[in-house]
Protein backbone atom coordinates (compact mmCIF):
# COMPACT_ATOMS: atom_id res chain seq x y z
CA UNK A 1 0.00 0.00 0.00
CA UNK A 2 1.24 3.37 -1.00
CA UNK A 3 1.25 6.86 0.28
CA UNK A 4 -1.49 8.67 -1.54
CA UNK A 5 -5.15 8.64 -0.67
CA UNK A 6 -5.68 7.98 -4.34
CA UNK A 7 -4.51 4.40 -4.32
CA UNK A 8 -8.03 3.02 -4.43
CA UNK A 9 -9.80 2.75 -7.75
CA UNK A 10 -12.38 5.54 -7.75
CA UNK A 11 -14.92 3.77 -9.96
CA UNK A 12 -15.09 0.48 -8.03
CA UNK A 13 -16.61 -0.11 -4.62
CA UNK A 14 -14.44 -1.33 -1.78
CA UNK A 15 -16.01 -4.79 -2.06
CA UNK A 16 -15.17 -5.04 -5.77
CA UNK A 17 -11.58 -4.06 -5.16
CA UNK A 18 -11.22 -6.59 -2.38
CA UNK A 19 -12.72 -9.22 -4.65
CA UNK A 20 -10.15 -8.38 -7.33
CA UNK A 21 -7.36 -8.75 -4.84
CA UNK A 22 -8.70 -12.10 -3.60
CA UNK A 23 -9.13 -13.46 -7.11
CA UNK A 24 -5.59 -12.47 -8.00
CA UNK A 25 -3.96 -14.04 -4.97
CA UNK A 26 -6.17 -16.95 -3.92
CA UNK A 27 -9.03 -19.18 -5.00
CA UNK A 28 -11.56 -18.24 -2.37
CA UNK A 29 -15.23 -18.56 -3.22
CA UNK A 30 -17.51 -15.57 -3.52
CA UNK A 31 -18.98 -16.12 -0.09
CA UNK A 32 -15.59 -16.60 1.51
CA UNK A 33 -14.36 -13.38 -0.07
CA UNK A 34 -17.40 -11.52 1.19
CA UNK A 35 -16.96 -12.86 4.71
CA UNK A 36 -13.24 -12.16 4.77
CA UNK A 37 -13.76 -8.61 3.46
CA UNK A 38 -16.24 -7.89 6.24
CA UNK A 39 -13.85 -9.30 8.77
CA UNK A 40 -10.87 -7.17 7.72
CA UNK A 41 -12.95 -4.01 7.55
CA UNK A 42 -14.10 -4.68 11.09
CA UNK A 43 -10.47 -5.12 12.08
CA UNK A 44 -9.68 -1.56 11.01
CA UNK A 45 -12.94 -0.28 12.61
CA UNK A 46 -14.78 0.52 9.43
CA UNK A 47 -18.45 -0.40 9.43
CA UNK A 48 -18.91 -3.24 6.88
CA UNK A 49 -21.73 -1.28 5.22
CA UNK A 50 -18.91 0.61 3.56
CA UNK A 51 -18.09 -2.50 1.55
CA UNK A 52 -20.46 -1.09 -1.01
CA UNK A 53 -19.17 2.46 -0.78
CA UNK A 54 -17.03 4.09 -3.41
CA UNK A 55 -13.72 5.58 -2.26
CA UNK A 56 -14.98 9.16 -2.62
CA UNK A 57 -17.63 8.43 -0.01
CA UNK A 58 -14.96 7.66 2.55
CA UNK A 59 -12.85 10.21 4.40
CA UNK A 60 -9.09 10.32 3.93
CA UNK A 61 -8.45 8.39 7.11
CA UNK A 62 -11.04 5.75 6.21
CA UNK A 63 -9.55 5.32 2.74
CA UNK A 64 -6.17 4.76 4.27
CA UNK A 65 -7.66 2.23 6.70
CA UNK A 66 -9.46 0.52 3.83
CA UNK A 67 -6.06 0.14 2.14
CA UNK A 68 -4.70 -1.41 5.30
CA UNK A 69 -7.71 -3.74 5.42
CA UNK A 70 -6.91 -4.88 1.87
CA UNK A 71 -3.37 -5.63 2.90
CA UNK A 72 -4.71 -7.74 5.77
CA UNK A 73 -6.88 -9.93 3.52
CA UNK A 74 -4.24 -12.65 3.39
CA UNK A 75 -2.87 -12.52 6.96
CA UNK A 76 0.49 -11.05 5.95
CA UNK A 77 3.79 -11.53 7.75
CA UNK A 78 5.16 -8.19 6.67
CA UNK A 79 3.31 -5.04 5.67
CA UNK A 80 5.20 -2.28 3.88
CA UNK A 81 3.71 1.14 4.49
CA UNK A 82 5.03 4.00 2.41
CA UNK A 83 4.05 7.28 4.05
CA UNK A 84 0.54 6.07 4.92
CA UNK A 85 -0.22 9.15 6.97
CA UNK A 86 1.32 11.91 4.90
CA UNK A 87 -2.01 13.02 3.43
CA UNK A 88 -3.72 13.15 6.83
CA UNK A 89 -3.83 15.90 9.40
CA UNK A 90 -2.24 15.26 12.79
CA UNK A 91 -5.41 14.18 14.54
CA UNK A 92 -6.34 11.54 11.96
CA UNK A 93 -2.66 10.64 11.76
CA UNK A 94 -2.40 9.77 15.39
CA UNK A 95 -5.54 7.67 15.47
CA UNK A 96 -4.31 5.72 12.43
CA UNK A 97 -0.91 5.15 14.06
CA UNK A 98 -2.51 3.87 17.25
CA UNK A 99 -4.65 1.55 15.20
CA UNK A 100 -1.76 0.19 13.15
CA UNK A 101 0.15 -0.46 16.35
CA UNK A 102 -2.79 -2.34 17.88
CA UNK A 103 -3.31 -4.47 14.79
CA UNK A 104 0.39 -5.18 14.58
CA UNK A 105 0.45 -6.36 18.19
CA UNK A 106 -2.72 -8.40 17.81
CA UNK A 107 -1.97 -10.08 14.49
CA UNK A 108 1.77 -10.24 14.90
CA UNK A 109 2.89 -9.01 11.51
CA UNK A 110 5.99 -6.92 10.99
CA UNK A 111 5.84 -3.42 9.56
CA UNK A 112 8.31 -1.49 7.46
CA UNK A 113 7.15 2.06 7.91
CA UNK A 114 8.58 4.47 5.35
CA UNK A 115 8.33 8.09 6.42
CA UNK A 116 10.13 11.41 6.44
CA UNK A 117 8.66 12.35 9.80
CA UNK A 118 10.93 11.07 12.55
CA UNK A 119 8.81 12.43 15.34
CA UNK A 120 5.85 10.42 14.07
CA UNK A 121 7.57 7.05 14.45
CA UNK A 122 9.37 7.94 17.65
CA UNK A 123 6.60 6.38 19.70
CA UNK A 124 5.66 3.54 17.40
CA UNK A 125 8.71 1.86 15.95
CA UNK A 126 11.17 -0.58 17.49
CA UNK A 127 14.10 0.19 15.26
CA UNK A 128 14.88 3.12 13.01
CA UNK A 129 16.85 2.97 9.80
CA UNK A 130 18.01 6.35 8.53
CA UNK A 131 18.75 6.56 4.83
CA UNK A 132 20.79 9.21 3.09
CA UNK A 133 21.34 9.46 -0.66
CA UNK A 134 20.54 5.82 -1.29
CA UNK A 135 22.56 4.36 1.55
CA UNK A 136 21.92 3.32 5.11
CA UNK A 137 23.35 6.07 7.30
CA UNK A 138 22.38 4.58 10.62
CA UNK A 139 20.29 1.77 12.07
CA UNK A 140 19.56 1.84 15.79
CA UNK A 141 16.87 1.10 18.32
CA UNK A 142 14.43 3.99 18.06
CA UNK A 143 14.91 5.26 21.57
CA UNK A 144 18.69 5.08 21.36
CA UNK A 145 18.70 7.01 18.11
CA UNK A 146 16.64 9.79 19.64
CA UNK A 147 18.75 9.86 22.79
CA UNK A 148 22.13 9.52 21.15
CA UNK A 149 22.23 9.78 17.37
CA UNK A 150 25.48 8.31 16.04
CA UNK A 151 25.55 9.71 12.54
CA UNK A 152 25.88 13.48 12.00
CA UNK A 153 22.96 13.30 9.58
CA UNK A 154 20.65 11.71 12.17
CA UNK A 155 21.79 14.33 14.61
CA UNK A 156 21.03 17.10 12.12
CA UNK A 157 17.61 15.64 11.38
CA UNK A 158 16.68 15.66 15.05
CA UNK A 159 17.82 19.26 15.24
CA UNK A 160 15.71 20.19 12.23
CA UNK A 161 12.33 19.69 13.89
CA UNK A 162 10.77 22.42 15.95
CA UNK A 163 9.06 21.00 19.02
CA UNK A 164 5.63 21.81 20.36
CA UNK A 165 6.74 21.65 23.97
CA UNK A 166 9.85 22.77 25.76
CA UNK A 167 11.99 25.80 24.96
CA UNK A 168 11.45 27.43 21.59
CA UNK A 169 15.11 27.65 20.61
CA UNK A 170 16.31 28.78 17.22
CA UNK A 171 17.19 25.77 15.08
CA UNK A 172 19.90 25.56 12.48
CA UNK A 173 18.76 22.64 10.36
CA UNK A 174 21.23 21.07 7.96
CA UNK A 175 23.03 23.38 5.57
CA UNK A 176 23.05 22.65 1.85
CA UNK A 177 20.65 20.39 0.06
CA UNK A 178 20.43 16.67 -0.71
CA UNK A 179 22.96 15.50 -3.31
CA UNK A 180 22.27 14.84 -6.95
CA UNK A 181 21.93 11.07 -7.08
CA UNK A 182 23.27 10.93 -10.64
CA UNK A 183 26.41 12.73 -9.58
CA UNK A 184 27.31 11.63 -6.07
CA UNK A 185 30.21 13.04 -4.10
CA UNK A 186 33.14 10.68 -3.56
CA UNK A 187 33.56 9.08 -0.16
CA UNK A 188 30.89 9.82 2.40
CA UNK A 189 27.77 11.09 0.64
CA UNK A 190 26.89 13.38 3.51
CA UNK A 191 30.37 14.96 3.67
CA UNK A 192 29.52 18.17 1.73
CA UNK A 193 26.86 19.05 4.32
CA UNK A 194 28.50 17.58 7.41
CA UNK A 195 29.61 19.92 10.21
CA UNK A 196 32.21 17.37 11.42
CA UNK A 197 33.77 16.65 8.03
CA UNK A 198 37.43 15.55 7.92
CA UNK A 199 39.79 14.97 5.01
CA UNK A 200 39.45 11.19 5.27
CA UNK A 201 35.66 11.43 4.78
CA UNK A 202 36.04 12.21 1.11
CA UNK A 203 38.97 9.84 0.50
CA UNK A 204 37.11 6.56 0.25
CA UNK A 205 33.67 4.99 0.51
CA UNK A 206 32.71 4.64 4.18
CA UNK A 207 31.63 1.15 5.36
CA UNK A 208 28.98 0.48 8.00
CA UNK A 209 30.51 0.26 11.47
CA UNK A 210 28.89 -1.61 14.31
CA UNK A 211 28.52 0.38 17.52
CA UNK A 212 26.84 -1.35 20.49
CA UNK A 213 24.38 -3.18 18.28
CA UNK A 214 23.74 -0.18 16.05
CA UNK A 215 25.05 0.22 12.55
CA UNK A 216 26.43 3.55 11.40
CA UNK A 217 28.19 4.75 8.27
CA UNK A 218 30.57 7.36 9.63
CA UNK A 219 34.37 7.36 10.02
CA UNK A 220 34.04 9.00 13.43
CA UNK A 221 32.56 5.73 14.71
CA UNK A 222 35.17 3.38 13.21
CA UNK A 223 36.49 2.32 16.59
CA UNK A 224 33.05 1.22 17.68
CA UNK A 225 32.15 4.15 19.90
CA UNK B 1 -2.79 46.65 8.50
CA UNK B 2 -5.06 43.98 7.07
CA UNK B 3 -8.38 43.13 8.58
CA UNK B 4 -11.28 40.98 7.50
CA UNK B 5 -14.83 41.31 8.66
CA UNK B 6 -17.31 38.46 8.36
CA UNK B 7 -15.28 37.02 5.50
CA UNK B 8 -17.28 34.21 3.91
CA UNK B 9 -16.80 32.11 0.83
CA UNK B 10 -19.23 29.46 -0.32
CA UNK B 11 -18.92 27.16 -3.28
CA UNK B 12 -21.76 25.53 -5.11
CA UNK B 13 -21.39 21.80 -5.54
CA UNK B 14 -23.53 19.09 -7.08
CA UNK B 15 -25.72 18.94 -10.12
CA UNK B 16 -28.57 21.20 -11.08
CA UNK B 17 -31.21 19.38 -9.08
CA UNK B 18 -29.08 18.51 -6.10
CA UNK B 19 -27.46 21.88 -5.68
CA UNK B 20 -25.67 22.21 -2.38
CA UNK B 21 -23.51 24.83 -0.82
CA UNK B 22 -20.06 24.11 0.51
CA UNK B 23 -19.17 26.53 3.27
CA UNK B 24 -15.41 26.79 2.82
CA UNK B 25 -14.99 29.88 4.98
CA UNK B 26 -17.68 31.30 7.26
CA UNK B 27 -17.63 34.63 9.08
CA UNK B 28 -13.91 34.97 9.63
CA UNK B 29 -12.66 38.09 11.37
CA UNK B 30 -8.91 38.30 11.44
CA UNK B 31 -6.31 41.02 11.70
CA UNK B 32 -2.67 41.10 10.72
CA UNK B 33 -0.50 43.87 12.06
CA UNK B 34 2.53 45.50 10.51
CA UNK B 35 5.67 43.37 10.84
CA UNK B 36 3.73 40.52 12.40
CA UNK B 37 3.90 36.82 11.60
CA UNK B 38 0.51 35.21 11.98
CA UNK B 39 0.11 31.47 11.58
CA UNK B 40 -3.13 29.99 10.30
CA UNK B 41 -3.40 26.34 11.32
CA UNK B 42 -6.06 23.72 10.87
CA UNK B 43 -6.67 20.34 9.26
CA UNK B 44 -6.96 19.86 5.53
CA UNK B 45 -10.27 21.14 4.27
CA UNK B 46 -10.68 23.64 7.10
CA UNK B 47 -10.57 26.62 4.73
CA UNK B 48 -6.97 27.79 5.21
CA UNK B 49 -6.11 27.95 1.54
CA UNK B 50 -9.45 29.53 0.68
CA UNK B 51 -8.55 32.39 2.99
CA UNK B 52 -5.19 32.74 1.26
CA UNK B 53 -6.91 32.94 -2.11
CA UNK B 54 -9.46 35.43 -0.86
CA UNK B 55 -6.67 37.66 0.37
CA UNK B 56 -4.83 37.30 -2.94
CA UNK B 57 -7.96 38.28 -4.91
CA UNK B 58 -8.17 34.89 -6.59
CA UNK B 59 -11.69 34.46 -5.22
CA UNK B 60 -14.22 37.12 -4.43
CA UNK B 61 -15.84 36.82 -1.02
CA UNK B 62 -19.43 35.58 -0.94
CA UNK B 63 -20.01 37.95 1.98
CA UNK B 64 -17.87 40.09 4.16
CA UNK B 65 -15.09 42.50 3.51
CA UNK B 66 -11.31 42.69 3.52
CA UNK B 67 -9.82 45.98 4.67
CA UNK B 68 -6.26 46.79 3.69
CA UNK B 69 -4.68 49.87 5.25
CA UNK B 70 -8.12 51.20 6.05
CA UNK B 71 -9.62 50.74 2.59
CA UNK B 72 -12.15 48.05 1.68
CA UNK B 73 -11.07 45.83 -1.20
CA UNK B 74 -14.55 45.58 -2.67
CA UNK B 75 -14.23 49.22 -3.68
CA UNK B 76 -10.95 48.59 -5.44
CA UNK B 77 -11.63 49.89 -8.91
CA UNK B 78 -9.48 49.64 -11.98
CA UNK B 79 -6.43 47.67 -12.96
CA UNK B 80 -4.00 50.06 -11.37
CA UNK B 81 -5.34 49.78 -7.84
CA UNK B 82 -5.74 46.01 -8.09
CA UNK B 83 -2.12 45.71 -9.24
CA UNK B 84 -0.99 47.90 -6.39
CA UNK B 85 -2.79 45.66 -3.90
CA UNK B 86 -1.42 42.47 -5.46
CA UNK B 87 2.08 43.89 -5.17
CA UNK B 88 1.54 44.77 -1.52
CA UNK B 89 0.11 41.33 -0.71
CA UNK B 90 1.86 38.70 -2.85
CA UNK B 91 1.56 34.99 -2.34
CA UNK B 92 4.18 32.25 -1.99
CA UNK B 93 2.93 28.87 -3.05
CA UNK B 94 3.16 25.39 -1.66
CA UNK B 95 4.75 23.64 -4.59
CA UNK B 96 8.03 25.21 -5.71
CA UNK B 97 8.30 22.66 -8.51
CA UNK B 98 5.28 23.93 -10.40
CA UNK B 99 5.11 27.59 -9.42
CA UNK B 100 8.08 28.77 -11.53
CA UNK B 101 7.95 28.66 -15.32
CA UNK B 102 10.52 26.00 -16.27
CA UNK B 103 11.20 27.52 -19.70
CA UNK B 104 12.76 30.75 -18.42
CA UNK B 105 15.75 31.68 -16.33
CA UNK B 106 15.29 32.73 -12.69
CA UNK B 107 15.91 36.38 -13.61
CA UNK B 108 12.84 36.30 -15.84
CA UNK B 109 10.64 34.96 -13.06
CA UNK B 110 11.56 37.86 -10.81
CA UNK B 111 11.85 40.70 -13.32
CA UNK B 112 8.47 39.92 -14.84
CA UNK B 113 6.67 40.78 -11.63
CA UNK B 114 8.64 44.01 -11.37
CA UNK B 115 7.72 45.03 -14.92
CA UNK B 116 4.08 44.56 -14.07
CA UNK B 117 3.99 46.06 -10.61
CA UNK B 118 6.85 48.51 -10.35
CA UNK B 119 6.62 51.05 -13.14
CA UNK B 120 8.91 53.31 -11.16
CA UNK B 121 11.97 51.21 -11.98
CA UNK B 122 14.16 51.60 -15.06
CA UNK B 123 15.84 48.61 -16.68
CA UNK B 124 19.01 49.04 -14.65
CA UNK B 125 16.92 49.69 -11.55
CA UNK B 126 15.28 46.32 -12.06
CA UNK B 127 18.70 44.67 -12.46
CA UNK B 128 19.87 46.14 -9.17
CA UNK B 129 16.66 45.09 -7.46
CA UNK B 130 17.02 41.59 -8.86
CA UNK B 131 20.45 41.28 -7.28
CA UNK B 132 19.20 42.71 -4.02
CA UNK B 133 16.29 40.30 -3.59
CA UNK B 134 18.34 37.26 -4.54
CA UNK B 135 20.95 38.18 -1.97
CA UNK B 136 18.23 38.88 0.53
CA UNK B 137 16.86 35.32 0.28
CA UNK B 138 20.33 33.80 0.44
CA UNK B 139 20.71 32.75 -3.22
CA UNK B 140 24.27 33.98 -3.56
CA UNK B 141 26.09 34.83 -5.71
CA UNK B 142 23.09 36.58 -7.26
CA UNK B 143 24.84 37.02 -10.59
CA UNK B 144 25.14 33.24 -10.82
CA UNK B 145 21.65 32.31 -9.61
CA UNK B 146 19.78 34.68 -11.88
CA UNK B 147 21.10 32.91 -14.98
CA UNK B 148 20.02 29.44 -13.78
CA UNK B 149 16.95 27.61 -15.00
CA UNK B 150 14.50 26.28 -12.38
CA UNK B 151 15.55 22.66 -12.99
CA UNK B 152 19.08 23.55 -11.89
CA UNK B 153 17.88 24.52 -8.42
CA UNK B 154 16.84 22.34 -5.51
CA UNK B 155 13.40 22.53 -3.91
CA UNK B 156 14.61 24.76 -1.09
CA UNK B 157 16.34 27.10 -3.53
CA UNK B 158 13.21 27.29 -5.66
CA UNK B 159 11.13 28.19 -2.65
CA UNK B 160 13.65 30.97 -1.96
CA UNK B 161 13.07 32.16 -5.51
CA UNK B 162 9.37 32.31 -4.62
CA UNK B 163 10.18 34.60 -1.70
CA UNK B 164 12.50 36.69 -3.92
CA UNK B 165 9.65 37.12 -6.41
CA UNK B 166 7.42 38.37 -3.63
CA UNK B 167 10.11 40.67 -2.19
CA UNK B 168 10.76 42.31 -5.54
CA UNK B 169 7.29 43.84 -5.35
CA UNK B 170 8.05 45.70 -2.11
CA UNK B 171 5.34 43.78 -0.26
CA UNK B 172 3.72 44.68 3.04
CA UNK B 173 2.28 41.23 3.70
CA UNK B 174 3.34 37.93 2.20
CA UNK B 175 0.74 35.18 2.18
CA UNK B 176 2.71 31.93 2.39
CA UNK B 177 0.51 28.90 1.83
CA UNK B 178 2.28 25.80 3.20
CA UNK B 179 5.67 27.06 1.95
CA UNK B 180 7.70 24.24 3.48
CA UNK B 181 5.45 21.19 3.29
CA UNK B 182 6.86 20.05 -0.07
CA UNK B 183 10.49 20.51 0.96
CA UNK B 184 12.92 17.95 2.27
CA UNK B 185 12.76 17.90 6.07
CA UNK B 186 16.43 18.76 6.39
CA UNK B 187 15.98 22.14 4.69
CA UNK B 188 12.56 23.21 6.00
CA UNK B 189 13.98 24.97 8.98
CA UNK B 190 16.19 27.09 6.68
CA UNK B 191 13.13 28.43 4.87
CA UNK B 192 11.35 29.11 8.17
CA UNK B 193 14.40 30.99 9.39
CA UNK B 194 14.40 32.96 6.13
CA UNK B 195 10.85 34.13 6.80
CA UNK B 196 11.86 35.28 10.27
CA UNK B 197 14.86 37.14 8.88
CA UNK B 198 12.83 38.87 6.17
CA UNK B 199 10.46 40.12 8.81
CA UNK B 200 13.38 41.52 10.80
CA UNK B 201 15.20 43.11 7.86
CA UNK B 202 12.38 44.18 5.56
CA UNK B 203 9.57 44.63 8.04
CA UNK B 204 7.24 42.41 6.00
CA UNK B 205 4.29 40.75 7.70
CA UNK B 206 3.53 37.13 7.01
CA UNK B 207 0.42 35.05 7.02
CA UNK B 208 1.95 31.61 7.45
CA UNK B 209 -0.55 28.93 6.52
CA UNK B 210 0.34 25.45 7.73
CA UNK B 211 -0.96 22.27 9.22
CA UNK B 212 2.29 21.80 11.12
CA UNK B 213 1.60 23.16 14.58
CA UNK B 214 5.20 22.84 15.75
CA UNK B 215 6.50 25.02 12.92
CA UNK B 216 3.79 27.59 13.65
CA UNK B 217 5.07 27.75 17.20
CA UNK B 218 8.63 28.13 15.96
CA UNK B 219 7.88 31.06 13.70
CA UNK B 220 4.70 32.92 14.56
CA UNK B 221 3.77 35.68 17.00
CA UNK B 222 0.10 34.88 16.87
CA UNK B 223 -1.85 31.76 15.92
CA UNK B 224 -5.27 31.45 14.35
CA UNK B 225 -6.87 28.01 14.51
CA UNK B 226 -9.47 27.07 11.91
CA UNK B 227 -11.96 24.27 12.01
CA UNK B 228 -14.47 23.58 9.25
CA UNK B 229 -14.41 27.11 7.90
CA UNK B 230 -14.72 28.81 11.27
CA UNK B 231 -12.03 30.56 13.19
CA UNK B 232 -12.20 28.76 16.54
CA UNK B 233 -9.32 30.21 18.50
CA UNK B 234 -6.94 33.09 18.27
CA UNK B 235 -4.20 34.37 20.52
CA UNK B 236 -0.50 34.74 21.18
CA UNK B 237 1.35 31.61 20.01
CA UNK B 238 2.60 30.38 23.38
CA UNK B 239 -0.77 30.99 25.06
CA UNK B 240 -2.71 29.10 22.43
CA UNK B 241 -0.35 26.16 22.11
CA UNK B 242 0.61 25.71 25.74
CA UNK B 243 -2.85 26.39 27.18
CA UNK B 244 -5.36 25.74 24.42
CA UNK B 245 -8.91 26.71 25.36
CA UNK B 246 -10.99 25.44 22.47
CA UNK B 247 -11.56 21.66 22.59
CA UNK B 248 -10.43 21.35 18.97
CA UNK B 249 -7.17 23.17 19.64
CA UNK B 250 -6.66 20.88 22.63
CA UNK B 251 -7.15 17.84 20.43
CA UNK B 252 -4.85 19.26 17.75
CA UNK B 253 -2.06 20.11 20.14
CA UNK B 254 -2.24 16.77 21.94
CA UNK B 255 -2.02 14.92 18.61
CA UNK B 256 1.27 16.49 17.55
CA UNK B 257 3.96 13.82 17.77
CA UNK B 258 6.86 14.91 19.91
CA UNK B 259 9.96 12.74 20.15
CA UNK B 260 11.17 14.74 23.11
CA UNK B 261 8.09 13.80 25.11
CA UNK B 262 7.85 10.68 27.22
CA UNK B 263 7.58 7.43 25.35
CA UNK B 264 4.23 5.71 25.46
CA UNK B 265 1.12 5.33 23.39
CA UNK B 266 -0.95 8.43 23.06
CA UNK B 267 -3.88 8.08 25.42
CA UNK B 268 -6.79 10.05 24.08
CA UNK B 269 -8.43 8.34 21.12
CA UNK B 270 -10.21 10.61 18.75
CA UNK B 271 -13.55 9.29 17.68
CA UNK B 272 -15.54 10.93 15.01
CA UNK B 273 -15.37 12.14 11.56
CA UNK B 274 -14.32 15.21 9.68
CA UNK B 275 -16.91 17.94 9.83
CA UNK B 276 -19.72 18.37 7.38
CA UNK B 277 -19.35 21.67 5.59
CA UNK B 278 -21.84 21.02 2.79
CA UNK B 279 -25.09 22.70 3.81
CA UNK B 280 -24.16 22.74 7.51
CA UNK B 281 -26.86 23.26 10.09
CA UNK B 282 -26.50 25.86 12.80
CA UNK B 283 -24.56 24.92 15.90
CA UNK B 284 -20.91 24.33 16.64
CA UNK B 285 -19.23 22.36 13.86
CA UNK B 286 -16.92 20.58 16.27
CA UNK B 287 -19.86 19.38 18.39
CA UNK B 288 -19.98 15.73 17.16
CA UNK B 289 -16.36 15.21 18.21
CA UNK B 290 -16.37 17.39 21.29
CA UNK B 291 -16.12 15.77 24.72
CA UNK B 292 -17.59 18.85 26.43
CA UNK B 293 -20.57 19.49 24.18
CA UNK B 294 -23.71 20.85 25.88
CA UNK B 295 -27.23 21.30 24.55
CA UNK B 296 -26.57 24.85 23.43
CA UNK B 297 -23.87 23.63 21.02
CA UNK B 298 -26.54 21.86 18.97
CA UNK B 299 -28.45 24.98 18.11
CA UNK B 300 -26.32 28.08 18.43
CA UNK B 301 -23.15 28.62 16.41
CA UNK B 302 -20.64 29.95 18.94
CA UNK B 303 -19.17 33.32 18.05
CA UNK B 304 -15.61 34.32 18.85
CA UNK B 305 -15.57 35.90 22.28
CA UNK B 306 -12.71 37.40 24.13
CA UNK B 307 -11.36 35.73 27.25
CA UNK B 308 -9.43 37.50 29.96
CA UNK B 309 -5.94 37.24 28.44
CA UNK B 310 -6.79 38.80 25.07
CA UNK B 311 -7.47 35.43 23.58
CA UNK B 312 -10.52 34.86 21.41
CA UNK B 313 -12.33 31.51 21.42
CA UNK B 314 -15.46 30.34 19.61
CA UNK B 315 -16.86 27.95 22.21
CA UNK B 316 -19.78 28.00 24.61
CA UNK B 317 -17.93 26.02 27.24
CA UNK B 318 -14.36 27.35 27.26
CA UNK B 319 -13.41 29.78 29.95
pLDDT tens across A19-77, in order?
A: 988 888 888 888 989 999 998 888 887 888 888 888 888 777 788 888 888 888 888 89
Any CB–CB contact under 8 A between A101 and chain B?
Answer: yes
Q: In what order do the strands lie in the sheet with A214-216?
A: A127-132, A135-141, A214-216, A209-211
Per-residue model confidence as pLDDT tens digits over A135-194:
999 999 998 898 899 999 999 888 888 887 777 778 877 887 778 788 888 889 999 889
CA-based end-to-end distance of chain A: 38
The predicted structure's pLDDT at residue A4: 46
The predicted structure's pLDDT at residue A172: 78
**Strands B173-177 and B205-210, how do they pair?**
parallel
Any CB–CB contact under 8 A between A171 and chain B?
Answer: yes
Q: Do B258 and A164 touch (CB under 8 A)?
A: yes
Q: Do A177 and B154 touch (CB under 8 A)?
A: yes
Q: Which residue of A has its CA nearest to B242?
A: A165
Across A137-146, A208-217, B249-258, least confident range = B249-258
Q: Do B43 and A95 touch (CB under 8 A)?
A: no
**Residue B270 is nearest to which of A91, A120, A162, comparing CB atoms?**
A91
Interface A-B, measured as beta-carbon pairs within 8 A, has a size of 120
Q: Do B253 and A164 touch (CB under 8 A)?
A: yes
CA dist A29 and B75 (Å) reads 68
Looking at residue A57, the DSSP 8-state letter turns out to be G
Task: Please state, in angstroms and as integers, the Cα–Cα distance from residue B217 to each residue in A72, A169, B86, B210, B236, following that order.
Answer: 39, 11, 28, 11, 10
Q: Is A81 helix (H, G, I), strand (E, B) or coil?
A: strand
How many other C-beta atoms are found inside a 10 Å radius of the C-beta of residue B170? 17
CA dist B251 and B274 (Å) reads 13
Q: Do B189 and A162 touch (CB under 8 A)?
A: yes
pLDDT confidence tier of residue B114, bands split at 50, 70 and 90: very high
CA dist A38 and A32 (Å) reads 10
Residue A18 C-alpha, separation from nearest chain B C-alpha, in angstroms: 24
CA dist A207 and A147 (Å) reads 23
Per-residue model confidence as pLDDT tens digits over B73-93:
988 888 889 999 999 999 998
Structural domains of chain B sorted by starting position, each given as residue range(s) with its CATH number in brackets: 2-80+180-313 (3.40.50.300), 96-170 (no CATH)
Q: Do A168 and B269 touch (CB under 8 A)?
A: no
Record the pTM.
Answer: 0.83
The predicted structure's pLDDT at residue A76: 87
Q: Do A158 and B259 touch (CB under 8 A)?
A: yes
Average confidence (pLDDT) over B96-121: 91
Residue B183 C-alpha, separation from nearest chain A C-alpha, in angstroms: 10
Is residue B253 within 8 A of residue B213, CB to CB? The reply is yes
Residues 24-43 of B with CB under 8 A from A: 43
The predicted structure's pLDDT at residue A10: 83
Is residue B290 within 8 A of residue B284, CB to CB? The reply is yes
> DSSP string of B48-62?
HHHHHHHHTTSS--S
Q: Does the CA dihedral B216-B217-B222-B225 come out positive or negative?
A: positive
Any CB–CB contact under 8 A between B241 and chain A?
Answer: yes
Is residue B39 within 8 A of residue B216, CB to CB? The reply is yes
How many other C-beta atoms are found inside a 10 Å radius of the C-beta of residue B291? 10
**Strands B37-41 and B205-210, how do they pair?**
parallel
The predicted structure's pLDDT at residue A6: 64
Q: Do B217 and A92 touch (CB under 8 A)?
A: no
How many other C-beta atoms are found inside a 10 Å radius of the C-beta of residue B245? 20
Residue B269 C-alpha, separation from nearest chain A C-alpha, in angstroms: 6
**Residue B184 is nearest to which of A95, A119, A178, comparing CB atoms?**
A178
Amino acid sequence: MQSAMNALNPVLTVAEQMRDACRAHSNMSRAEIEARSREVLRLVSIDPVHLHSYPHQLSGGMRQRAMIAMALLFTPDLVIMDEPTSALDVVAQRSLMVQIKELQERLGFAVIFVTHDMSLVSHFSDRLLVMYAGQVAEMSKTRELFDRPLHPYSHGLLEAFPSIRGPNARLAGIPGSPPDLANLPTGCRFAPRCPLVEPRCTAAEVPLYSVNGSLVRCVLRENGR
Amino acid sequence: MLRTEGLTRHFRVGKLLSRQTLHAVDDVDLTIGSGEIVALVGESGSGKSTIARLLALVYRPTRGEIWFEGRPLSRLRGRRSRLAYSAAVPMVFQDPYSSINPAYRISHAIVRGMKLHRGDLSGSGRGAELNRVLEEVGLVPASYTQRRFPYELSGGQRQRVGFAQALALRPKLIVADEPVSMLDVSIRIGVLNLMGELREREGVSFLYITHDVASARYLADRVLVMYAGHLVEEGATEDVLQRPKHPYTQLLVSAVPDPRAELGLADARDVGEPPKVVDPKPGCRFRPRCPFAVAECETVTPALRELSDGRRVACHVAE
